[in-house]
Amino acid sequence: MSVIVGYQPGRGGDEAVELGASLAGALSTNLVMVIATPKPWTTPSLARVDAEFSAYARRYGDDAEAAARAHLALRAPDTAVTYLRVSERSVSKSIQKVLTEHDGEVLVLGTTHGSDDGRMSLGVTTSRLMHSSSIPLALAPKGYKCARITGVTCAYSGDDHSEDVVMSAKALAAQMTVPLRVATFGVTPADMFPPEVGFDVERSVLQAWKEQMAASMQKLVTDKIIDETVPTTISTGNDWDAAFDAIEWSDGEVLAIGTTPRDAIKRVFLGSRAAKIVASATVPAIIFPG
């Protein structure tokens, strides 16, 4: 089993390398660094452009591998790593090919866009892989630096599939030998109700939701999904950023979150709530297939 990193220089690649090294260390496994190189045309021609394109693809692969090697040598020199160059019509297809041929535990990608405060926004490649990965997908936030994994916080929604997510997060935490926490995130928009209704209704609805989620998380203990030593928390705010920031996050902690099942084959598909929580996260997020 390996940690597979999709590496693209300058596109969140450094953060993906750092997170990959962190996860490989926590899981006591090796890294597989995937470098997607441009694919030459399949129909040969007499023009020099074919040879020039092939030379460009080789240089791109050489430069990318050299950059990844240099980064790992500086930040995580003891990490065992295998470098693969794959040429398909797109970066996502190159990584998908590796996923079908290698036994990976988790796929790691960087995020390329995002605000100055380190929150995540997904690029085209990441979005495509999020809908096709058959293994958990780990996203590195902007500016992430390699750190020892110290804990797993599972985002709990209370829906029909929430117990499966908690069990997956629990297994991951046990494999990493780190503590587990279960957290529920909710938002109370300022315009939730029209002004004439008043704030009392808004507060009562929020309180009812908190009581419902508290009972749901207590059921996790009753059903022996988690034991009573696992901390649970309910975090709310006027927006998702505020809800995420309302609880403390320790250095090295990661967010684990589930997805919506789409078909008989396990694939990652983020629901609207999960997507908003991931977009608000300032720590690495591990997304389990639905």
Strands laid side by side in the 104-110 sheet: 81-86, 30-36, 2-7, 104-110, 137-140, 285-287, 253-257, 151-155, 180-187, 232-237
> How high is the mean pLDDT in each 10-residue block of the chain (290 residues)?
89 90 94 86 60 84 93 90 88 85 89 64 69 84 90 90 92 96 84 50 77 93 95 92 93 88 48 79 88
Distance CA 27, CA 178 (A): 11
Distance CA 155, CA 162 (A): 9
What is the reported pTM? 0.85
If we measure between CA atoms, which residue out of 117, 120, 167 comes closest to residue 284?
120
Map out the domains of the chain with their CATH numbers. 1-146 (3.40.50.620), 149-290 (3.40.50.620)
**pLDDT digit string (tens) for 131-145?**
667 789 999 988 899
- Find the Cα–Cα–Cα–Cα dihedral 196, 201, 206, 210, rounded to 10°: 180
Q: Which alpha helices (DSSP H) does the chain contain, by range?
A: 13-27, 49-75, 91-101, 124-130, 162-176, 199-222, 240-245, 272-280
C-alpha distances in Å from residue 20, one per residue of 27, 49, 59, 124: 10, 36, 24, 20
